[in-house]
Amino acid sequence: MKLLAIDTSTEACSAALSINGEISERYEIAPRKHAELILPMIDELLTDAGCTLTQMDAIAFGRGPGAFTGVRIGTGVVQGLAFSIDRPVVPVSSLAAMAYGAMAEFKTDNVLAGIDARMGEVYWGVYQRSADGGVQLLDDECVCKPVETFVPEDTLPESGSWIGAGTAWQTYGDELIARYKGLFSEHHSEVFPHARDIAALGELAVEAGEVVSAEEAQPIYLRNNVVMKKVR
């Protein structure tokens, strides 16, 4: 399988190319420079691999949540590329990509993924490793205040076996640490979504038939559809 993946949903900008499971990536922390970086990153990857865009079987992208402008840029770029070569698109959650990357880097199966959503809120998702080697979302992703974040009680593993990942743990670390004291063993605020992880999750999605057409590829902002959660 040949799959191109991009992510522009946070301060990080990245593109990745997966060819038969071998993944190469271009990655840079570059707030407000995503629009000028993403296409050159893609061109570089294709040139280095000796491939063309038309050889791709699918294109995956970080569909959010994240920065509104960044998510829109990623959606627009992937729609344009997919339309141009008539290939399916794989939308991948930015929080899921963070969780997948954190599981690999920090050797864990349980991640509390959070992105600073500004305005005193966080984008939040609770993930465990799935049987196929990907990630499984527990309950729904949401946008809420740090004190309203939650972990589904009926899925709680042993205390101390979770880790926190993402910028929410930097901006709202005190609140989140107090809320989950005893539940998690460590937190890493420097974790961002990576296109390499979107590529890996994208391959699993393609194998499962979880693809959409270019016109159906839509951003997920969460703030447009906020579900209130009971504080535990």
Q: What pLDDT was estimated at residue 181? A: 87
Please work out, in degrees rounded to the nearest 5, the angle formed at the alpha carbon of residue 201 by the alpha carbons of 195 and 205. Answer: 130
Q: Which carries the bigger pLDDT value, residue 200 or residue 228?
A: 200
Q: What are phi and psi of 11, to 5 degrees?
A: -60, -25
Per-residue confidence (pLDDT) for residue 75, from 0 to 100: 98
* Predicted pLDDT of residue 182: 84
pLDDT of 155 > 70? The answer is no
CA atoms of 4 and 30, how far apart (whole Å):
20
Buried b (16+ CB within 10 A) or exposed e, 139-162: eebbbbebebbbbeeeeeeeeeeb
3-state SS string for 215-232: HHCCCCCCCCCCCCCCCC
Question: Is the pLDDT reported for residue 162 higher than 70?
Answer: yes
pLDDT number for residue 185: 87
| pLDDT one-digit tens code per residue, 30-61 | 999 999 999 999 999 999 999 999 999 999 99
- Tell me the domain boundaries of the chain: 2-93+193-216, 94-188
Determine the Cα–Cα distance for residues 107 and 154; give it in Å rounded to an integer.
23
Same CATH topology for 2-93+193-216 and 94-188: the answer is: yes
Task: Give the pLDDT confidence score for residue 228 in this predicted structure.
Answer: 37
pLDDT digits (tens, 9 = 90+) for 101-138: 999 999 999 999 999 999 999 999 999 999 999 999 99
Asked if 116 and 168 count as a contact pair (C-beta separation under 8 A), the reply is: yes
pLDDT more than 70, % of the chain: 94
CATH of 2-93+193-216, one of 3.40.250.10, 3.30.420.40, 3.90.180.10, 1.10.730.10: 3.30.420.40
In this structure, which CATH number among 3.30.420.40, 3.40.50.1100, 3.40.50.20, 3.40.50.800 belongs to the domain 94-188? 3.30.420.40
pLDDT of residue 39: 98
Query: What is the pLDDT of the chain when averaged over all its residues?
Result: 93
For residue 183, name the pLDDT band (cuts at 50, 70, 90): confident
